[in-house]
Amino acid sequence: MLWQVLQGVEYLHSQWVIHRDLKPSNILVTSENALGGGGMVKIADFGLARIFQAPLRPLHDNGVVVTIWYRAPELLLGARHYTPALDVWAVGCIFAELTALRPLFQGDEVRRSGAPFQKDQLMRICELLGAPTEEIWPTL
């Protein structure tokens, strides 16, 4: 199943599409695949998906994207020019949740319109992964 999620996300990115809201409820599994084996993964809910291009243009056109528990740190810090890396972060969070059977970064969201900065969510990430340094995040 995890391999199929990665293949689906790789295909989206090869078509210059960022999903922007990957989370477990947007990963669907059919009862069996065409070869009669286990279920086939389908990525759903493309309501926030956008085309990206080089050079990157702002994609922050309709409010904050990605459900908070799967939101990449750059989005929590208010980035407006972002890459497919935010989908990769979300996939990592989904994989961890499947392994641990609970969300990896279960922070509390400040529900304010247009509020990308989410202190509690950033604290959850730093508690588990450590605070970013110039060495591991040179553009900080």
Q: What is the pLDDT of residues 97-113, one digit of tens each?
A: 999 999 888 876 666 55
pTM for the model stands at: 0.80
Q: Which domains does the chain have, with CATH numbers?
A: 2-129 (1.10.510.10)
Q: Is 21 a catalytic residue?
A: yes
Strand locations in the chain, DSSP E? 17-18, 27-29, 41-43, 50-51
Cα-Cα-Cα-Cα torsion 16, 19, 20, 26, nearest 10 degrees, comes to: -170
- From 21, 61, 108, 120, active-site residue: 21
**pLDDT tens, residue by residue, 37-84:** 778 999 999 988 888 876 555 555 555 566 788 988 888 887 777 789
